[in-house]
Structure 1
Amino acid sequence: MLAPYVRVGFQDGVLFLGFGSIRRPVHDQALWEPLLRLADHFRAPRTRAEARSFLDGNCEGGVLRADAVMRLLEDGNHLIPARTYDPADRYSRHALFYELSGADAVEVQIRLARSRVVLLGCGGIGGLVAVTLATAGVGELVLVDADHVELSNLTRQFLFTEADIGLPKAEVLARELRRRNRACRVLPVVREVRDWEDLESLPACDLLVVSADSPGLTGTVNAHCIRSGTPWMNACYVNDIAVWGPLVVPGTTGCWDCRPLTVRAPEGGCELASLMGRINDRYQAPSNGPVNMLASSLAALDVLRYLGGFGPPSSLNRRVGVWSHDLTLDEQGAERDPACPTCADAVPLCEGVR
C-alpha cells in the first residue's frame, strides 16, 4: 500500500511525489494523472498484479509509460507492506520511519527489543539518549552514574525535578524510564567508572555509550571495548558544539586511538604543558539544554540505526560536530589505522556493522 508518509504536491510547475529523503520530482506531465491515480489506488492494500491491471486501464501511452509510472512508486520506499502500519501500535510512527529508510520495520523492532545498551553518564546527554532508546523499544538499558541530582542540573537534565535533588541520578532516571516504557528493562548502577576493573564488572552489551566527562575515560573505554569486542560511541559537547562519534565497531572501523581526535599537551614542552594544565584546571564547560538535546538526539539516532540495522550511522569512522551558533557541520576522520597499537589485531564482529 502507499506509505502514509507519502504526500504529493505541485511547485514551480513540477509534481513532487513524496518529500524529505524520498522526494521525487516528476517533470513529465504525461505521467502526472496516471501516477496520481495509481497512488490513490494504493491507498488500500493491492497486489502488484492488481495495480498493474488498474494501471493498464488508466494509463494511455502503452507499456513503457505504465512501466515508468509503476517504477516511480516502487522506487524510493513509497510503497510499504500493508501489515506495517497499525496506528494503534505503540511503535507505529517509528515503523514508518524505518520503512522510510528502506528497512523492514518489524525486523528493526525485533532487533531493538533484543538489544542491551550500557550508558556511562546519566546527565544532560546520557539522560536524553536513555529516554530516546527506552521509548523506541530497546530491550535493556544499564545506567551507570555515581552523581546525585543537583539544582544546577535542572536546566538541561529534563527527567529530573526539584523533588529529586540529592537522589542518585541513575536511580531517578531508571524510575522515569520505567514510567515511560515498562517493557524496557532498566538497571541503575550507582558507582564511578575509572579503570578496567570497573568496566569489566558491568554487564556485557551490544553497544556502550559514553557521555561522562571523567578525564581519560574515553581512552580507557576504547581499550576495554576493543579487547572485549564491544561497539561503543562517545557523545558530548565542546562548549557550543554538539558532538557525537566516532561509533567504534572493533575490527571493522577505526578506534579512538587510530587518529588524534582531541587536543593534547605538547611533547617535550614541560613548561608549556604546565601552563596548559594550570589554565585548564579552572575550566568549567558551559552546558546548555538545546546543545545537549542536539548531541543526544543525533547520537541516539545513530545508536538506533546501528542496533536496528535501518541505515548506516552517520558517525561510522568519523567524529561529527554541529556548531550551534551557525549550524555548520564539522567532522574529524576516524578511519582505521592498520598500525594502531590498540586495534590493529582486533577481529571483526560476527555480524559486522549492522
Structure 2
Amino acid sequence: MYLGFGSIQQVITDKELWEPLARLADYYSVPRTVNEARVFLRQVCGLPETRATEAMRILSQGNYLIPYDTLGYDERYSRPALLYELSGTRAREVQDRLSRSHVLFLGCGGIGNLMAITLVTSGIGHLTLVDDDRIELSNLTRQYMFTESDVGELKSTVLARELARRNSTVEVTHLEKAIASLDDLESLPAVDLVVVSADTPGLTDLVNTHCVRAGQTWMNVCYVNDIAVWGPLVVPGVSGCWDCRRIIAREPADDPQLSAVISRINHRYQAPSNGPVNMLASSLASLDALRHLGRFGTARSLNRRVGVWTHELLLDWQEAELNPACNTCGAYSGQTSRSEYASRGESVE
C-alpha cells in the first residue's frame, strides 16, 4: 500500500493495516479529532488498541494530519499551504514569515522575470528590482513578463508594473541602477535575500563580499549553456560563501598574457539562452528561496551550487561548504551560529 506520494510517501507492507488506513482516510473526509479516529479504528475497523495506536503514529509522524482550517478553498494561498503542512510546518506561520520578507533582485531579465513573479504570487511582502537595462526584442523569448509593446522601456519599471497587477498586496520597488562597485551595493536597502540574476562580469564577487560583510543572505541563479544552475545559497556565518571553494573557472593568475587573451574571449562570448532552461533554474531557485524565507523544508542549494544538465537530464552539484580559512568570510564565520540557524527549523547539512 502506497500512503501518499513524493517526499511523504510511505510503503505499508503490513496487510492488516491496508483496509483500516484506507477507511480512516475516507472517514477523514470531514474534520475529526484524534480521539474520534482512534475510536473509529477500534470499533469500526476492529483493530486492537496497539494496532490503532500504530496506525495513528504512521499518520502523525508522516505529516498526513493537518489542522482542519488549513485549506480554505477561497483563500489566496490555500494550495501552497498544503505543501507547507506536509513539510512539517504550520502553514499560517510560513505565510506570515513570507509576508514579512524583503527580496532584492539584481537583474530583471529571464531569471529575474520568472523568480519575481513566482515570489510575488507566493506572497513575499516586498520586492526591490534593480536594473538599468531596457527591453529588447530578443528578450521576449524568455522574459515572459514583457510584451512587444514594452520594447525600449526600462526592464525594472515594466516588471514592477506587471508584478503589481498580479498581487496588489505586495510592495514592489524598482531602481534604475547599474552595480559596478561595493559603494553601489551599500546604497541598496537591507533585505532578507539578494538574488543575483544579472550576467555582469565580476558582479557575483562584489555581491559576495558585500553580503558577507553586511550579514545578508544571497543566492546566485543562472544558466551555463544547457545547464540550469542555482546556488550556492550563502548565509553568512552559517554556510560557505562564493569564495570558500573554487566553483567556477578563473583566468590563470600566473600567466598575464594568456589571462588577457582568455578575458577578451570571455567578454565577447554570448551565452545561449532559452525559456525552458531559464524556467528550470528559476523555479528550483524560487523553491529554495521560499524554503529559506518561510523556514519549511531544507534549501537544496545551501552549501552547494546545483546544476541540471538538460541535454542528459543529469543532476550535478559542486560543494560550497564553509572554509574557516576563507579570505572573504573566515573572519565572519561566527556571526550566526549553526545551532541558531538550525533552531529556526532549517538544516545546515
Q: TM-score range by the shorter chain?
A: over 0.9
- 1:10 corresponds in structure 2 to none
- Which has the higher mean CA deviation after the structures are superposed, 234-243 or 264-273? 264-273
- 1:227 corresponds in structure 2 to 213
- Which has the higher mean CA deviation after the structures are superposed, 306-315 or 48-57? 48-57
Residue 338 of structure 2 is aligned to residue 352 of structure 1: no
Q: Distance in 1 between matches of 2:156 and 2:261?
A: 36
Relative to structure 1, the CA distance from residue 50 to residue 286 in structure 2 (aligned partners, 3 Å threshold; closer, same or farther) is same
Q: Distance in 1 between matches of 2:10 and 2:47?
A: 21
Shift of 1:290: 0.3
- 1:286 corresponds in structure 2 to 272
- 2:109 corresponds in structure 1 to 123
Q: Distance in 2 between matches of 1:278 and 1:73?
A: 60
Structure 1 length normalisation: TM-score? 0.93
Q: Distance in 2 between matches of 1:339 and 1:148?
A: 41
- 2:347 corresponds in structure 1 to none
Kept in 1, the 8 Å contact 2:245–2:320? The answer is yes
Residue 123 of structure 2 is aligned to residue 137 of structure 1: yes
Q: What amino acid maps onto 1:315 in structure 2?
A: S
Kept in 2, the 8 Å contact 1:39–1:73? The answer is no
Q: Distance in 2 between matches of 1:119 and 1:281?
A: 23
Q: Pairwise CA RMSD of aligned residues? A: 1.3
Q: Distance in 2 between matches of 1:250 and 1:307?
A: 15
Residue 323 of structure 2 is aligned to residue 334 of structure 1: no
Deviations 1:104-153 (A, max 9, x none): 10000000000000000000001111000000000000000000000000
From 12, 18, 24, the counterpart of 1:26 = 12
Identity score, percent = 60
Q: Secondary structure at the match of 1:34?
A: helix
Q: What amino acid maps onto 1:312 in structure 2?
A: T
Q: Distance in 2 between matches of 1:67 and 1:231?
A: 43
Shift of 1:245: 0.4
Residue 252 of structure 2 is aligned to residue 266 of structure 1: yes
Shift of 1:352: 2.7
Q: Secondary structure at the match of 2:287?
A: helix
Q: Secondary structure at the match of 2:305?
A: strand
Kept in 2, the 8 Å contact 1:251–1:345? The answer is no
Q: What amino acid maps onto 2:59 in structure 1?
A: L
Q: What amino acid maps onto 1:348 in structure 2?
A: Q
- 1:79 corresponds in structure 2 to 65
From 172, 177, 192, the counterpart of 2:163 = 177
- 1:39 corresponds in structure 2 to 25
Shift of 1:49: 1.3
Kept in 2, the 8 Å contact 1:230–1:249? The answer is yes
User: Unaligned regions of 5+ residues in structure 2, if any?
Assistant: 345-349
Q: Secondary structure at the match of 1:209?
A: strand
Shift of 1:281: 3.0
Q: Secondary structure at the match of 1:125?
A: helix
Q: Distance in 2 between matches of 1:211 and 1:174?
A: 16
- Which has the higher mean CA deviation after the structures are superposed, 200-209 or 19-28? 19-28
- 2:189 corresponds in structure 1 to 203
Residue 164 of structure 2 is aligned to residue 164 of structure 1: no
How many residue pairs were aligned? 340
Q: Distance in 2 between matches of 1:41 and 1:215?
A: 59
Q: Secondary structure at the match of 2:114?
A: helix
Q: Distance in 2 between matches of 1:201 and 1:266?
A: 33
Kept in 1, the 8 Å contact 2:134–2:153? The answer is yes
Q: Distance in 1 between matches of 2:268 and 2:47?
A: 74
Q: Distance in 1 between matches of 2:15 and 2:243?
A: 55
Shift of 1:180: 0.1
Shift of 1:282: 2.0
Kept in 1, the 8 Å contact 2:41–2:47? The answer is no
Residue 289 of structure 2 is aligned to residue 303 of structure 1: yes
Q: What amino acid maps onto 1:320 in structure 2?
A: V
Q: What amino acid maps onto 1:132 in structure 2?
A: T
Q: Distance in 1 between matches of 2:175 and 2:247?
A: 29
Q: What amino acid maps onto 1:200 in structure 2?
A: E
Q: Distance in 2 between matches of 1:25 and 1:311?
A: 21
Structure 2 length normalisation: TM-score? 0.95
Q: Distance in 1 between matches of 2:26 and 2:47?
A: 20
- 1:5 corresponds in structure 2 to none
- 2:177 corresponds in structure 1 to 191
Q: What amino acid maps onto 1:155 in structure 2?
A: T
Shift of 1:61: 4.5
Relative to structure 1, the CA distance from residue 179 to residue 61 in structure 2 (aligned partners, 3 Å threshold; closer, same or farther) is closer
Shift of 1:337: 0.5
Q: What amino acid maps onto 2:223 in structure 1?
A: Y
Q: Secondary structure at the match of 1:321?
A: strand
Shift of 1:91: 0.4
